[in-house]
Structure 1
Amino acid sequence: MVSIYELKPKFQKLLMPVVRFLHTLNITPNQVTLAACFLSIALGIVFYYNYTSIWIYIMIPVFMFVRMAMNAIDGVLAKEYNLKSNLGKYLNELTDVVSDAALFIPFILVLSQFEMTVVLFVILSIVSEMAGVIGETVSGERRYDGPMGKSDRAFIIGAVSVLLAFNIPIHDYLWIVFLISSLLIIINIYKRIKHGLEGAE
């Protein structure tokens, strides 16, 4: 199954003018990474206290795109200007998990009767990223196998938010979306472990 992550190289090329501009301002990759995380947490808090407001569901997909761009920018900055660091590796992995949790957890309020589907989605998202990171330890290669990788999850959350913003009656079916997404993440985890082990042979 194709993952949105496979489009990342083309997306990074489109962002090169922004990367060059940030470099002229002496902005570091770690600063971009931390900024994306802080903004995610802030929006997650706002979302939690305003989950009944239409405007929050307009902000979420817009921010998901901005965050995706920031996540690409920090990597390109590090690569193009030789700014890679061990701290950057830690920040890149840890802040992604924290950011996702902050943005996804408020959906338990939207799905008040099926909140466990959101909890399962969040937990499996974390396990998926752990499987990817451990793959690097085992085989020397960070695993990004799909389906329902980080970019795919961002797309799903953004799409759901757009539907909610337009008052499309999907509340009764949202738990199914989260459940199916969770099942796809399980496949994702299996593939990351399988391919990680194969790479170690």
Structure 2
Amino acid sequence: MLGKLRKYVNEVLPKTVGKYLSKIGLTPNGATLIGFMFAIIAPILAYYRIYVLIPIMIVLSGLMDVVDGAIARATNKTTKFGAYLDSLTDRISDMLFFLALIFAGVNPYLSIIALGFSEVVSYARSKGELLGVKMEGVGLLERSERLILLFIASIFAIFKLNLIANIIILIVAILGVITIYQRSLKIKKELKNQ
């Protein structure tokens, strides 16, 4: 859904932020791991009821997820292991953000359902690409949209407006189902044409 913005970011960031950060010694995998550390911190903060910092951890982790790719493109250091590490830490980070929201009072059952569909969304992309189908930009709920929704839910959780946070998590689950369907249709269509 944010495909046009992503295209712009992928063109501009490597030339600016990516070059600068690579000059100060930050590697793509280093940026990935820094973003992952922010995700690890989120549920710890939530467990200790420091809810106000959860949205910040989501933003910083999401930002580093953009930065790692910018550094890789700026330095021509895109590697298969880097792509694997990025994808792996993204999946675990998603789980950690949902856990943080559960600690902050969001419905755990709804969160588990939304997390499950979110993981299947990512799996559908991965499997589709293994089958040779280009999956970037397919579906309503890619990771960037999911992080935005989790960020918004975490803001409402800070103020104990858990009903609204639960509705947002329900939206994540519903959009996840729709995205799985959209990606499955795309894969079926592309494989039919091969």
Following TM superposition, by how much is the alpha carbon of 1:41 offset from its aligned partner in structure 2, in angstroms?
0.8
Following TM superposition, by how much is the alpha carbon of 1:5 offset from its aligned partner in structure 2, in angstroms?
4.5
**1:17 equivalent in structure 2:** 16
Q: How does 1:27-176 map to 2 (within 5 A)?
A: 27-50=26-49, 53=50, 56-57=51-52, 59-111=53-105, 114-165=107-158, 167=159, 170-176=161-167
Q: Work out whether residues 34 and 61 of structure 2, in 8 Å CA contact, stay in contact via their aligned partners in 1.
A: no
Q: Work out whether residues 33 and 95 of structure 1, in 8 Å CA contact, stay in contact via their aligned partners in 2.
A: yes
Kindly tell me: are residues 164 and 105 of structure 1, through their superposed partners in 2, closer, same or farther at Cα, counting changes over 3 Å?
A: closer
Matches of 2:78 and 2:14 in 1, distance apart? 18
Residue identity opposite 1:79 in structure 2: R
Matches of 1:18 and 1:33 in 2, distance apart? 15
Higher RCO, 1 vs 2 (CA within 8 Å, ≥6 residues apart): 1
Following TM superposition, by how much is the alpha carbon of 1:151 offset from its aligned partner in structure 2, in angstroms?
0.9
Q: Work out whether residues 128 and 189 of structure 1, in 8 Å CA contact, stay in contact via their aligned partners in 2.
A: yes
Among the aligned pairs, what percent are the same residue? 25
Kindly tell me: are residues 11 and 64 of structure 1, through their superposed partners in 2, closer, same or farther at Cα, counting changes over 3 Å?
A: farther
**1:187 equivalent in structure 2:** 178
What is the TM-score of this pair, normalised by structure 1? 0.83
Greater shift, 189-198 or 115-124, is seen at: 189-198
Following TM superposition, by how much is the alpha carbon of 1:160 offset from its aligned partner in structure 2, in angstroms?
2.1
Unpaired segments of 5 or more residues in structure 1?
Answer: none
What is the TM-score of this pair, normalised by structure 2? 0.86
Matches of 2:15 and 2:43 in 1, distance apart? 29
Residue identity opposite 1:45 in structure 2: I
Let me know the Cα RMSD of the aligned residues. Answer: 2.2
Kindly tell me: are residues 105 and 24 of structure 1, through their superposed partners in 2, closer, same or farther at Cα, counting changes over 3 Å?
A: same
2:2 is aligned with 1:8? no
Unpaired segments of 5 or more residues in structure 2?
Answer: none
